[in-house]
Amino acid sequence: MYSDDAQTRSTIIAALGRRVSVEGPPISTREVATEPALRGYLDASVREIARGEPGISLIILDGEATPAGGMGIARTIKDEIFDAPKTLLIIGRADDAWLASWSRADVVISHPIDPFVLAGAVARLLAQTEPV
């Protein structure tokens, strides 16, 4: 999960809890506050996959993060990583969904974060994918 805002990261973690659905497995999250930290984590995941180990299943990106926004990062991930992990983008306003479509994120939700909407979206994305 990427956001430069500690409160946003805390809200996301609280909304997700330890499980996003009754049927789903326990989840683990990793927080990053900067784009370089996220890139390092993604690079490590790509190396894990090359070794046959599980990698990242889903990336949650804050579209309002600065200086690197989640929209641009989502687009870069989809452009640069073969078989990229699923991405969920959280935007500032529902009216910006048209702009968020440029990012090629798999799911877009808006602030304020609704725990039920977030958990449901994450559960659906995780059900669609193997770890990447």
- pLDDT tens-digit map of 51-74: 888 888 899 999 999 999 999 999
* pLDDT reported for residue 23: 80
- Tell me the residue ranges of DSSP E strands in 23-112: 58-62, 86-91, 107-110
Q: Is the pLDDT of residue 4 over 80?
A: yes
When pLDDT is averaged across residues 36-47 and rounded to a whole number, the result is 92
* pLDDT reported for residue 131: 46
- pLDDT tens-digit map of 79-93: 998 888 999 999 999
**Contact call for residues 103 and 64 (beta carbons, < 8 A):** no
Mean of the per-residue pLDDT values for the chain? 91
- pLDDT tens-digit map of 97-125: 888 999 999 999 999 999 999 999 999 99
| pTM of full prediction above 0.85 | yes
Domains in the chain, CATH or no CATH each: 6-128 (3.40.50.2300)
Q: Is 104 exposed, middle or buried (CB count within 10 Å of its CB: 0-12, 13-18, 19+)? A: middle
CA 117 – CA 13 distance, rounded (Å): 14
